[in-house]
Structure 1
Amino acid sequence: MTKEKTLPQPANTLAMAGDNTYNENSGQQYLAMEACLPLFESLGFGVNATFVDYGCSQGAASMAVMQRLVSQLPTNSTATLVFNDLPSNDFNSLIKLLPSIKSFDSTKVLYPCIIPNSFYNPIMPQSTVDVAFALSSIHWLRQVPPPKSTSESFEEFLRKRDSRNSAASHKDLVEFLNLRGREIKSGGKLIVAAPSPCADNEDGRITGNERLRCALFKAMESLIAVGKLPPNATAGIYPPNHVHTEQSFRAAINETKRIWKIEKAYSRVIPHPAYQAMLESQKGLRDIELQKAFERAYANTVVDWILAVFKPFMKSWWIEEGLDEEACEHVFQECSSLAKIEFVKNAGAQLPVAQDFIFVRLNRC
């Protein structure tokens, strides 16, 4: 009996939506960065240090961390600030933010540089990095998983995807840790903020997250039904990522224990800030229409947030499936509008969109 061949999966080469879109829609990721800042406390450096952000995206959160690290350097010291992400990343938006670091502390000489490469490859010379960090980035897989088959329901696809991606995610994380182990100096630090599966649904966040995704896919199904999207338009757009449980993260650390030791670790629930803003705005309101208006504003924000991640994968797949490139942006905007309406309609706008995170500081042995 001939064993069925498994075709190699393509590398993940798509970054977040460009033109500063990710920066403008990364409020939750920024809160995760702020929750991570205690791990940077009490770090000491010499007069010449190198800091690296693995998966910097468009730089909004990265700049805040780099400012924090620069502030902890001795006066009149120098620092190399390295920003790494995929070659497709919108580095122009990041570059526009660089002057904010220089103006932040003029007593230090800073050398910012950009390295466009997957962090599943070597990024820095051996033993040259003092402190590195990866914020909301290590859940991205090295390769793109197979698309949904025509025989699968979306629910079946997600169940299989989660199981299949678990092994790939573990392998990728071990590779990431081994690569960073070669680049970070003995005694250096690697600080990680990683999305994790929601532990419970006490505040409704699991349901809120599910209704947000459901609204997006129902919007696409509506466009398929009227012929504006190809029949298979939803099959290959799910981003190639897999969130780590604390147990799976610790398993990867255990596999690289000759290199890494956990110094500090904790978990937090990170809500999307738009939910709390909506609740504050609705306090004391008796006007039902005004309450609905704030729900629509919340829906607009969280749909834009998820689309800042999904957009490159959606448009790339749609074009691959035969959608005209010139029509693609127009259809995407229509899909966005429909998803916002659907999120309110399915009562998602009455629930929080939130994500559990694990925060870890590792010491290079």
Structure 2
Amino acid sequence: MEAFKSQSETQSKAPLEFALGMKGGNGDSSYAYNSSPQLRIIQAVKPILENGIYENMKLKFDVRGIFRIADFGCGTGQNTLLVADTIVSAVQRLLKEQEMPEFEVYFTDLPSNDFNSLFRMLPCTRSYFPAAVCGSHFRRLFARKSLQFCHSSMSLHWLSQVPETVQQRRSPRVYVSSDSEEGVAPAYLHQFDTDMT
């Protein structure tokens, strides 16, 4: 898929942050132009996201007038703005009986993300203050207790590394099922647990 930069373009840089990046801009081969499968996923899970906000968010919370949202692995394009609008609108509906906070939305992704194109797409009238935060979500990006809501649509499946026990077998797996070689699926689950901690 042309929307991803080739490995040779990025291999000489830092391993995780530059191993795989999206093509910027709005051209025919850009990620923004070629992300319709991701849009279908976002549209399909939109009711689940909204319902999760309604069911799990406490009505009484201390935001000191600001509600901060982070979208991890935001990418570039209208999909990103749709997610931000969905979250902000759902929280506004939930808090309609309370004093409405101001909203800050942090678009977070790897440094190779085309944040300039994303910010050019922002509508002039929006219900939140946008900001970009560059970096890997495998490292700390925000101060403790500074966010009220975190979202990741399609980035948390990227592990920081192939599990060491799988590397030792010289057989990295892309697909892992319950039928796979003994110890492989648990190794990937352990790596996921480690990364998310």
Give the alignment's TM-score, normalised by structure 2: 0.64
Question: Can you list the C-alpha shifts for 1:304-360, whole angstroms capped at 9, x where unaligned?
Answer: xxxxxxxxxxxxxxxxxxxxxxxxxxxxxxxxxxxxxxxxxxxxxxxxxxxxxxxxx
State the number of aligned residues.
152
SS in 1 for 2:132: strand
SS in 1 for 2:125: helix
- Aligned mate of 1:136, from 154, 162, 166: 154
Q: CA offset at residue 123 of structure 1?
A: 1.4
C-alpha separation in 1, matches of 2:104 and 2:187: 33
* Corresponding letter in the other structure for 1:40: E
> 2:141: which partner in 1?
123
> 2:196: which partner in 1?
177
* Corresponding position: 1:37 with 2:41: no
- Aligned mate of 1:15, from 16, 21, 26: 21
1:283-302 aligned at under 5 Å gives the runs none
Q: CA offset at residue 52 of structure 1?
A: 0.6
Specify every segment of 5 or more residues in structure 1 that has no aligned partner in the other structure, as ranges: 1-8, 146-156, 179-365
Give the alignment's TM-score, normalised by structure 1: 0.37
C-alpha separation in 2, matches of 1:10 and 1:69: 32
C-alpha separation in 2, matches of 1:169 and 1:17: 28
1:63-142 aligned at under 5 Å gives the runs 63-72=81-90, 73=92, 74=96, 76-99=100-123, 103-105=125-127, 110-142=128-160
C-alpha separation in 1, matches of 2:23 and 2:136: 17
* Corresponding letter in the other structure for 2:37: Q
**RMSD of aligned residue pairs (Cα, Å):** 3.1
The answer (yes or no) to whether the contact 1:10–1:143 under 8 Å persists in 2 is no
SS in 2 for 1:11: helix
Find the structure with the greater CA-based Rg.
1
Question: Can you list the C-alpha shifts for 1:45-71, whole angstroms capped at 9, x where unaligned?
Answer: 665211110000114222112112222
The answer (yes or no) to whether the contact 2:17–2:112 under 8 Å persists in 1 is no
C-alpha separation in 2, matches of 1:96 and 1:167: 43
Question: Can you list the C-alpha shifts for 1:47-101, whole angstroms capped at 9, x where unaligned?
Answer: 52111100001142221121122223247530110111011111112111222xx
Q: CA offset at residue 12 of structure 1?
A: 4.9
> 2:8: which partner in 1?
none
- Go from structure 1 to structure 2 and tell me whether the alpha carbon gap of 1:166 and 1:84 turns closer, same or farther (over 3 Å shift): farther
1:1-365 aligned at under 5 Å gives the runs 10-13=15-18, 14-20=20-26, 21-38=30-47, 39-41=49-51, 43=54, 47-72=65-90, 73=92, 74=96, 76-99=100-123, 103-105=125-127, 110-143=128-161, 160-162=172-174, 169-178=188-197
Specify every segment of 5 or more residues in structure 2 that has no aligned partner in the other structure, as ranges: 1-13, 164-169
Higher share in helix: 1
